[in-house]
Amino acid sequence: MDFFWPASDAAAAVRSRFERTSWQARVVAHRPAEVTTDGSDLVVTFRYEGHPETFAVRFSLARMPEGPQTGKVCDSPDEWAEEVDWVLDEELNTRMVETAERTVADDGMVTLQWRNPSGTR
């Protein structure tokens, strides 16, 4: 599937962002945060303190270069990755793990749903 930037570049930029920042510490999440691609989504999986489940949050690669937090056009995969970081920082620090709509897969993975300001993910 073709995206504005290659999915592997977007995933690498998000991985790099998490390595450079204290994202995990800010949200009291545990390493490792894994970043993968699944079809038209980038998937960030992580453990969260006080919860036995593994959580996932999906970001649409098809919406690139639109930033998932602001909806503004990002100039690079690094800028897009910064917006992914913003979403996770804000959502997880405001109790997303406890309050978000969720889907539980057969393997126990809990996918958390979030909405950006325009009402889409």
Of the ranges 24-28, 79-83, 86-90, which one carries the lowest mean pLDDT score? Answer: 24-28
Sheet holding 41-48, edge to edge: 29-38, 41-48, 54-60, 110-112, 102-104
Asked whether residue 50 is domain-assigned, the answer is yes
Asked whether residue 49 is domain-assigned, the answer is yes
Number of structural domains found in the chain: 1
pLDDT digits (tens, 9 = 90+) for 96-120: 888 888 899 999 999 988 766 555 5
Asked whether residue 121 is domain-assigned, the answer is no
Contacts of 52 (CB under 8 A, 6+ apart): none
Asked whether residue 107 is domain-assigned, the answer is yes
Asked whether residue 2 is domain-assigned, the answer is no
Predicted structure pTM score: 0.83
pLDDT digits (tens, 9 = 90+) for 25-81: 455 555 557 899 998 999 999 888 778 888 899 999 999 999 998 999 999 999 999
Residue 21: which domain range? Answer: 7-112
Determine the average pLDDT of the residues in 87-93.
Answer: 82
